[in-house]
Amino acid sequence: MEEKIHVLSPDVADKIAAGEVAERPSSVVKELVENAVDAGADKITVEIKNGGIKLIRVADNGKGIPSEQVPTAFLRHATSKLNTADDLYNISTMGFRGEALSSICAVAKVEIITKTAEAETGVHYIVDHGICGEADEIACADGTIMVVEDLFANVPARMKFLKKDSTEAGYISDLMTRLALSKPNISFDYICDGKPVFKTSGDGDLTNVILKVYGLKFAKAVMPVDYFENGVKISGVIGKPELSFGNRTKQTIFVNGRYIKNHVIAKVAEEAFRNAVMIGKFPFFVLNIEVPPEMVDVNVHPAKTEVKFANEKQLYDIVYHAVKNAMYGIKVSEEKADQS
């Protein structure tokens, strides 16, 4: 049979793109929470059931979407955050690819309730496999509620690759922890299978977030990181060396407020702990690296957890110095404690 070259139908193309953005329940939570952050919300409630497969509900008090724009928001490459290709080199929002909502609604049942401050009432839409139904007027507060149900029910291959509910819930909890750490100014309320897991105050204090997500033992054993060199600002906290672990799950790195995975930066930070932490143990830290937007490319991967830096070597040195400095703070405070 002769196979003709043809452009894929939007439905198939969406499902392929969906596989990259909506890889598993935690990736859906990440996209929805990032949208809430971009909408300027300072209160975000996340509720999941059965590892997010049965239900993911994200409610925010952000700016909402004007009713007539909601159907467009669910189209692929539809975004309010990027206009020209040049904007790609100066990204200040978490999202910009305009792929999340279209991807999610290709693989799940989605409902949205949204209201802008200007609108008198809110609207409710049911999105069925990418197609927005009729709008219903609904009384609600300003902001947006996204409800995602039966994730991957129409993608059996993806469903099979998911781990058990408790493992998927674990990934979501880990993500929620890091999102809360990345935005101490936002109050995050996280509920898993009907049980409240944590609620941060949104008072802007990272140590208070650490107290809520990791507990008192952590909050009492941290030292601030506050460093500036060559246009790069590094803030956050490091844990005292005795607060160390058998793996890196308690290490968090943000670049311009975005949670990223970068083993090189983690290793550089660990290097600064050398001789203080036992071999095979990993220290605790939350590092927020702020670089000028043009020095970092976040458009490397659809999930945006990998980034590229313009001047890697220099950045690694700065991270090292920042952590070393904070370590020095620990030493000084311990010496003071010894003297008194």
Which residue is it, tokens 């060396």?
241
Q: Minimal distance in Å, beta carbon 256 to ligand ADP? A: 16
Q: Distance between CA 328 and CA 324 in Å, rounded?
A: 6
What's the CA dihedral at 104, 106, 107, 111 to 10 degrees? Answer: 60
Candidate list 26, 27, 35, 173; residue touching ligand ADP; CB under 6 A: 35
Does residue 130 touch ligand ADP according to CB under 6 A?
no
48 vs 100, which CB is nearer to ligand ADP? 100
67 vs 103, which CB is nearer to Mg ion? 103
| 51 token code pair | 């590892």
15 vs 240, which CB is nearer to ligand ADP? 15
Q: Among ligand ADP, Mg ion, none, what binds residue 79 when CB lies within 5 to 8 Å by partner kind? A: ligand ADP
Listed residue (286, 61, 55) closest to 191, CA to CA: 55
| 305 token code pair | 């957890």
Q: Can you give the binding site for Mg ion, defined by CB under 5 A?
A: 35, 95, 100
Show contacts with ligand ADP in window 251-290 (CB under 6 A): none
Q: Among Mg ion, ligand ADP, none, what binds residue 81 when CB lies within 5 to 8 Å by partner kind? A: ligand ADP
In eight-state DSSP terms, residue 281 is -
- The site string for ligand ADP over 141-170 (x = CB under 6 A, - otherwise) reads ---x--------------------------
31 vs 168, which CB is nearer to ligand ADP? 31
In eight-state DSSP terms, residue 92 is -
Amino acid at residue number 147: V
Per the CB < 8 A criterion, the answer to whether 123 and 135 are in contact is yes
Listed residue (185, 203, 310) closest to 257, CA to CA: 185
Element (H, E) at 70: helix 70-73
Listed residue (186, 193, 244, 187) closest to 217, CA to CA: 244
78 vs 126, which CB is nearer to ligand ADP? 78
Show contacts with ligand ADP in window 45-64 (CB under 6 A): 60, 62-64
One-letter-per-residue 3-state SS of 25-60: HHHHHHHHHHHHHHCCCCEEEEEEEHHHCCEEEEEE
Q: Distance between CA 296 and CA 292 in Å, rounded?
A: 7
Long-range pairs, 309-312, Cβ under 8 A, ≥24 = 312/264
- The site string for ligand ADP over 13-32 (x = CB under 6 A, - otherwise) reads ------------------x-
Does residue 327 touch ligand ADP according to CB under 6 A?
no
106 vs 221, which CB is nearer to ligand ADP? 106
94 vs 113, which CB is nearer to Mg ion? 94
- The site string for ligand ADP over 69-98 (x = CB under 6 A, - otherwise) reads ----x----xxxx-------------xxxx
Q: Among ligand ADP, Mg ion, none, what binds residue 36 when CB lies within 5 to 8 Å by partner kind? A: ligand ADP
Q: Which residues bind ligand ADP (CB under 6 A)?
A: 31, 35-36, 38-39, 60, 62-65, 73, 78-81, 95-101, 144
